[in-house]
Structure 1
Amino acid sequence: MNRIDPWMQIVSGLRGRTRFVAQPNPIPAARGKRERCGSMTTAMANAVSIRRIEWQTTCTILVSWSDSTLGRFEDQTWRAGFARTSGICGLTGVPVRRGDAVFRPLQKGGVLPRNALDMIRADTLRAPQNSLETGH
């Protein structure tokens, strides 16, 4: 049964859309991961506020950020990798090309985070210093 999701109605209103379409809620498990990602938007392109970035290991960072539509996230783990698609760096607003070295939110337990499509260009972050890598 389709119904209008109240949260999506609010978010659509904030984004200036006036027409609301009934959508199934929640996303059926039969839909593929790629299809679910296609319906997501990048949070960081929508006025996100990154408050802190901290190196966790040489290939992971902890990002604390907030967005008026997605909420507040403290110490979200992001992993180094390569951009699968073109996009925008959430930290600098610089374009990201497919194949660029980036950090992306870590997927845990098969669950995509709300900001799964966001990226931070790796070249915008300073490499961790030895004291951070060793924990001293």
Structure 2
Amino acid sequence: MIIIQFLEKPSERKLLLSWREPARCNYTEQLWTLRKAPNATTCALSGEKIRRGDHVYSPVGQPLNRSKCIRAEAVQLP
């Protein structure tokens, strides 16, 4: 089970979050950026389908969770 905690939104296109995936990876402060999904996949937060070209947040760099995406519409921050 993946545990995601939103920490802050430093800009319109960036998110800082905590990502915990037992037995795989743990990132206490991971930067994610807004982009278009390169492939069809599933949102790590909502479980909804993501189509190629949808706006998603994904991790910056080459972390172990680099293939994961979060639908931009699923992010609800004050």
Q: What's 2:67 paired with?
A: 117
How many correspondences in the alignment? 78
Is 1:70 aligned to 2:24, yes or no?
A: yes
Q: Quick one: structure 1 residues 106 and 118, their matched pair in 2 at CA, closer, same or farther if it must change by over 3 Å?
A: same
Taking CA–CA contacts closer than 8 Å with sequence separation of 6 or more, which of the two structures ends up with the larger relative contact order? 2
Structure 1 residue runs of 5 or longer lacking an equivalent are 1-46, 130-136
> How far does residue 71 in structure 1 lie from its aligned partner after superposition?
2.7
Q: What's 1:60 paired with?
A: 14
Which residue type is aligned with residue 47 of structure 2? Answer: G
Structure 2 residue runs of 5 or longer lacking an equivalent are none
Structure with more of its chain in strand, by fraction: 2
Separation in structure 1 between the aligned mates of residue 55 and residue 22 of structure 2, nearest angstrom: 28
The answer to whether the 8 Å contact 2:6/2:15 transfers is no
Separation in structure 2 between the aligned mates of residue 83 and residue 91 of structure 1, nearest angstrom: 15
Q: Pick the structure with greater CA Rg.
A: 1
Q: What root-mean-square deviation, in Å, do the aligned CA atoms of Structure 1 and Structure 2 show?
A: 1.5
Structure with more of its chain in helix, by fraction: 1
Q: What's 2:34 paired with?
A: 80
